[in-house]
Amino acid sequence: MTYGYARVSSLEQNEDRQLIALGKAGVRKRRLYVDKQSGKDFQRPQYQKLVKRLKPDDLLCVQSIDRLGRNYAEILDQWRLLTKEMGVDIYVLDMPLLDTRRGKDLMGTFLSDIVLQVLSFVAENERANILQRQAQGIAAARERGVRFGRPTVPMPENFPQVVERWEGGVISFEEAMAESGLSYGTFYRRLREYRRLVGAVDDEEELAEGEVEAEMEAAVVNEAVVNEEGAV
């Protein structure tokens, strides 16, 4: 049986180019396995599923060695596992020398091992370079004032009315969150901003974040106690 394996590093990337190449190599669609995950190790669901299906004399095709993985030591370990222990042949499409069906004599094996080690090293080195470039790009962006993470959720227009009704006991804390469309953490952050805006808390006497959170937790507990007593 001939199987194909393709890999891209993220959900946003497209694996079509690899699939087309594998199809031209004779791999049928039902025997194609694709992971959208980093090549730093081999703990990938589709790859693991593929290995369990492989049998002696099967052929595994990959477009290039870096699609198999980007960890030098682990690529060599997986290659030995597949070819030596499981008796599976491997064909790297863009490197004809890495076709274990050919040159199975001593010299052919020697040359394949050399090429494999060189390409595996190159794959891992490229991954290290990518990570370094990413870190440099993030650092440069931060210097320019670019902010990373979740975007700030603005204060809803109805927030003053919601806070007034909640603090007056008209609605519960859960109802206040629902009406404002905010999560627990975002609600109390917007509450601190609101109190600062209306002058309820002076900048020099601003409540510590933990105190505000504790205040709201206490309110939730009190509401739960009241509700429980009312239900008894």
How far is residue 129 CA from its own chain's centroid? 19
Question: Is-catalytic flag, 9?
Answer: yes
Work out the angle between the directed axes of helices 72-80 and 106-143 (0-180°, nearest 10): 150
Q: Are 99 and 92 in contact (CB under 8 A)?
A: yes
Strand partners of residue 89: 59
Q: Are 122 and 114 in contact (CB under 8 A)?
A: no
Q: Are 209 and 185 in contact (CB under 8 A)?
A: no
Q: Which residue has the tokens 């064909």?
A: 91
Q: Which of 125, 132, 193 is nearest to 163 (CA)?
A: 193
Q: How many CA atoms lie within 13 A of 11 on its CB side?
A: 0
> What are the tokens at 212?
């505000």
> What are the tokens at 91?
């064909």
> What are the tokens at 129?
């370079």
Work out the angle between the directed axes of helices 173-180 and 184-197 (0-180°, nearest 10): 80
Active site positions, annotated: 9
